[in-house]
Structure 1
């Protein structure tokens, strides 16, 4: 695979993207906030909102569309290949594993006020113990004859899941096993007079309790994202998987569209899609296995005067880059990694390969990403899991199956994936942005 020195990417740009990612993550404790933050950045770059319930834009422009916790954005400016112009797509997801508040969450035990939670996604449960936790998400509120969905973001330590003292479980260091039903309920007081959770939310959104009809509310770690390490070459943050891609993909689309428009007419449509619910299998109305991406792609073709035939022709010439975070080689567990496929923090973006189809990469997609990294002036690494260990998956295989487009799975290297707090390199976000920009704006 082509290898390029990372020195070709300016250090100032790499530093800017490390800070940009940290700010994006801290503003995005829930998928709904991540969509809101991505939309804010897109609007600053001249993208305007479209709505699925409205007629599709027929004039060239920069647009974005949201479906609850998912967002898609694209530009049709200066596209000269006709209605069957192919797409260049970067896809990721907005959700991360966490603890979600149940519909009837009030609980009292041994004088403590608690909330009942349900584990969302494949969380490292022990990482949620003894942390100061806030709350975020959306609330369904009746307003007149309709319903609104205001977002909430409580960046105060209102919850904590206390661990049992070692004196009461002497063999805990031989292996901690947590029961998600009985041992993960956070405390939020000890007075026995806690309000109902609906009443608590009603006060936050300025509504009467009886008008709170439901919620999608989750916990988040309150420790801010920050540079760490002796020289500040690492970035510790929550939700790197996969807000690392949500940020990098958004910045890449903005940069790619600017470059394409500066270069004049081009022959493809750059598009970003970020799905919700990847961590729970993607089979929802806004997950990667939903109609969201195919519907957006087809309506773009139709809006440009094409038909179903043009849509299918466009898909046949398209490339989808499924971008999710990747496992760096762990220094304390090197035996958990395939020896010939070592992945380094601050070593550049990662091509992810699996012969069983858990990743969608094949030779065509691998070549496209290798060329993108070469164009961006960043090195490319390759991840393959051990042959005697199962492999995770992404939106890549389902996107490939739904569209028939060439699809490649890529990511940025990290440790502690699915922990409440994860770790990447401070140089990696900038190299990731550069590579994804080249995917969307190939020369």
Structure 2
């Protein structure tokens, strides 16, 4: 599992790359790619996958119609907090080639400074059909950018707490010396470099999306090597454990489904996010193709469950007061059930009890996370999935340190345990 996990983490620098990796992994395990614009022919036991942007939905059709046996769903999200390059604003400044950034989600700014960064994203290029341009992903494999800190001699109060301005302080340095561009405009220099990596002609580029990413690979750490650190553990681990569990699932009466949403880190309100009709429409389509009555969609929802798999904040040894001591998950302590009285984490008592039973069945301890009464927790795709479908939902995950840092830390044992529990859920 470590080899698969680290390979997945190191090869998915953006949400689009994550979606492509998931789709390839599912296809290699017998899932047939569907086009939502075409008519579908679904068979009991059939394995299917489709994409919408950087979101992926896959399922194994059950032996029984959904109106009788419902859906068993697990969700995760493909995106992570990031810094997006404003590539049209690349310029020569003070002898450097620099690019300003746009903040995606809520990254910890300071963790991005003085790192070996590179660039990944997608180019939208011309095709033979003007209304159907091609999307070509690309990754600069070598470090090519740095966001340098200001020396302590020039900012003596840096260690007393400093508020970085995303607009003024997070410019990425891409190169030195304007003469290196040989008369090429700064913006064109970056696009041409991306075109070479993507294997396309720069003149065919219509649009581009470029993100910075950390080039340091995932590594095991700790004296006992029980921990690992990597970029974007939140929520690439969620994606991989759900995908592995679905790939291992056998056909049962119930339709097993995995949903990997984009845009969770920015609120999920998009055409492919959890705060959309994506999941609802696919479920309704599956029910309709089973030849059931109009009432069947409502019976299917009542017979279904959703497990939302997203990372949880583990107890930090230097900030123990940020947790309620009775609900403070430890790295290596097992999967975490997340609860919130205000439903920022989705939950029903019955489904929470069922998840606890799955953990016991697999021989893994289960931890609980409830925030301090004076702190508001983050949220996940769980409440959106529950609200749009009317399906009982819970939120779970593995505990992390430094969530939303460019480098996060987790325990490999928790990943394996959650994968086992999700496999049991789909069984």
Counterpart of 1:54 in structure 2 is 38
For residue 113 of structure 1, report the CA deviation from its aligned partner: 0.4
1:422-433 correspondence runs (5 A): 422-433=408-419
Provide the C-alpha distance between the structure 2 equivalents of 1:336 and 1:56, rounded to a whole number of angstroms: 50
Matched, 1:128 2:128: no
- Contact map agreement 1:18 1:430 (CA 8 A) in 2: no
For residue 57 of structure 1, report the CA deviation from its aligned partner: 2.7
- Contact map agreement 2:70 2:303 (CA 8 A) in 1: yes
Counterpart of 2:395 in structure 1 is 409
1:236-251 correspondence runs (5 A): 236-251=229-244
Counterpart of 2:100 in structure 1 is 116
- SS for the counterpart of 1:74 is strand
Counterpart of 1:298 in structure 2 is 284
Counterpart of 1:66 in structure 2 is 51
Compared CA separation, residues 391 and 267, structure 1 to 2 (3 A): same
Compared CA separation, residues 151 and 268, structure 1 to 2 (3 A): same
Matched, 1:356 2:349: no
Counterpart of 2:201 in structure 1 is 208
- Contact map agreement 1:161 1:186 (CA 8 A) in 2: yes
For residue 81 of structure 1, report the CA deviation from its aligned partner: 4.9
- Contact map agreement 1:50 1:57 (CA 8 A) in 2: no
Provide the C-alpha distance between the structure 2 equivalents of 1:245 and 1:307, rounded to a whole number of angstroms: 35
Counterpart of 2:29 in structure 1 is 45
Provide the C-alpha distance between the structure 1 equivalents of 2:55 and 2:318, rounded to a whole number of angstroms: 36
- Contact map agreement 1:21 1:429 (CA 8 A) in 2: no
For residues 76-125 of structure 1, the C-alpha deviation after alignment (integer angstroms, 9 at most, x for no partner) is 15x23564430111011000001112251312221110112101111000
For residue 292 of structure 1, report the CA deviation from its aligned partner: 1.2
TM-score by structure 2 length? 0.95
Gaps of 5+ in 1: 1-16
Compared CA separation, residues 172 and 337, structure 1 to 2 (3 A): same
Counterpart of 1:172 in structure 2 is 158
For residues 300-359 of structure 1, the C-alpha deviation after alignment (integer angstroms, 9 at most, x for no partner) is 112222243211210111101111001110111101101111211111100000001111
Matched, 1:379 2:365: yes
Provide the C-alpha distance between the structure 1 equivalents of 2:165 and 2:325, rounded to a whole number of angstroms: 34
RMSD: 1.4
Counterpart of 1:75 in structure 2 is 60
For residue 362 of structure 1, report the CA deviation from its aligned partner: 2.4
Provide the C-alpha distance between the structure 2 equivalents of 1:109 and 1:91, rounded to a whole number of angstroms: 44
- Contact map agreement 1:366 1:408 (CA 8 A) in 2: yes
For residues 43-88 of structure 1, the C-alpha deviation after alignment (integer angstroms, 9 at most, x for no partner) is 22111111111112322301111111000111015x2356443011
1:256-405 correspondence runs (5 A): 257=249, 260-261=250-251, 266-405=252-391
Match of 2:124 among 140, 148, 152: 140
- SS for the counterpart of 2:89 is strand
Provide the C-alpha distance between the structure 2 equivalents of 1:29 and 1:217, rounded to a whole number of angstroms: 11
Provide the C-alpha distance between the structure 2 equivalents of 1:57 and 1:295, rounded to a whole number of angstroms: 16
1:4-23 correspondence runs (5 A): 17-23=1-7
Counterpart of 1:29 in structure 2 is 13
Counterpart of 1:252 in structure 2 is 245
Matched, 1:232 2:220: no
- Contact map agreement 2:42 2:289 (CA 8 A) in 1: yes
Provide the C-alpha distance between the structure 2 equivalents of 1:49 and 1:340, rounded to a whole number of angstroms: 45
Provide the C-alpha distance between the structure 2 equivalents of 1:228 and 1:308, rounded to a whole number of angstroms: 54
- SS for the counterpart of 1:63 is strand
- Contact map agreement 1:320 1:406 (CA 8 A) in 2: yes
For residue 28 of structure 1, report the CA deviation from its aligned partner: 0.8
- SS for the counterpart of 2:327 is coil
Gaps of 5+ in 2: none
Q: Which has the higher contact order (CA 8 A, sep 6+)?
A: 1
- Contact map agreement 2:76 2:308 (CA 8 A) in 1: yes
Counterpart of 1:223 in structure 2 is 216
Provide the C-alpha distance between the structure 2 equivalents of 1:386 and 1:122, rounded to a whole number of angstroms: 21
- SS for the counterpart of 1:182 is helix
Provide the C-alpha distance between the structure 2 equivalents of 1:226 and 1:200, rounded to a whole number of angstroms: 29
Give aligned pairs, total: 417
Provide the C-alpha distance between the structure 1 equivalents of 2:175 and 2:191, rounded to a whole number of angstroms: 16
